[in-house]
Amino acid sequence: MTKQVWAVLGLVLAVGLTLGPAVAFAQDAKVKVQVEVVLASNKGTAVEPAELNKMKEAFQKQNFSFTSFKRMSLDVVEVGAQKPTEVKLPNGTNASLQLLGMKEGIATLRVIIPSQSSVEVELGRQGAVYQKAGKHVGGDLILVLVPPSK
């Protein structure tokens, strides 16, 4: 898939975070983000775990033809403005997340993935953001950014 297609996918799907009432952005501000790394491929039809069926359906609606989805990792990380938060990827690289700002309950994050251009995503109140995170064992790694489960 092209970078433009992934950028559009990232823009079409919004992320929900519970940030409370409007908070003035401070350099020491932080938000919690659930980061899931998923391997999407066309090898087989397995969806592991079953919760990834929502992701499969969202991709099908956008005409992405992956048939198999497998969770590689799931973590809740704290993302701040001072220093990027690193997320280890199974292909041996790290993705970086950094808080750029917060306004009216919406956080703006910079997502940096090696060998790809950085992208800014807005984390709002609903949905999920999917961001391509490189190749791995015949498929594509996808970062799924969502609010942490309560």
Dump pLDDT digits (tens) for 98-146: 999 888 878 889 999 988 889 999 887 667 899 999 999 999 999 999 8
DSSP letter at 148 equals P
CA angle, corner 100, sides to 96 and 102, nearest 5?
Answer: 130
Which pLDDT score is estimated for 147?
65
pLDDT for the residue numbered 10: 43
Pairing assessment for the beta strands 139-146 and 30-41 based on DSSP bridges:
antiparallel
Return the minimum-mean-pLDDT range out of 2-6, 62-66, 84-88. 2-6
**Segment 1-42, tens digit of pLDDT:** 444 444 334 433 333 333 333 344 567 789 999 999 999 999
Q: What share of the chain is helix, strand, coil (3-state, %, to 5)?
A: 15, 50, 35
Give the pLDDT mean for 46-74: 94
Q: Where are the beta strands (DSSP E) in 46-105?
A: 47-48, 68-80, 85-88, 94-103
CA of residue 87 relative to chain centroid, distance: 11
Q: Per mean pLDDT, which range of 62-71, 72-81, 102-111 is the poorest? A: 102-111
Q: Which two tokens stand for residue 114?
A: 């090696």
CA dihedral 119, 120, 122, 123 (to 10 degrees): 70
Expressed in angstroms, the distance from the first to the final Cα of the chain is: 34
Is the peptide bond preceding residue 49 cis, with omega within 30 degrees of 0? Answer: yes
The per-residue pLDDT for 3 is: 44
Residue 79 has pLDDT above 90, yes or no: yes
The pTM for the full model equals: 0.80
pLDDT score of 65 more than 50: yes
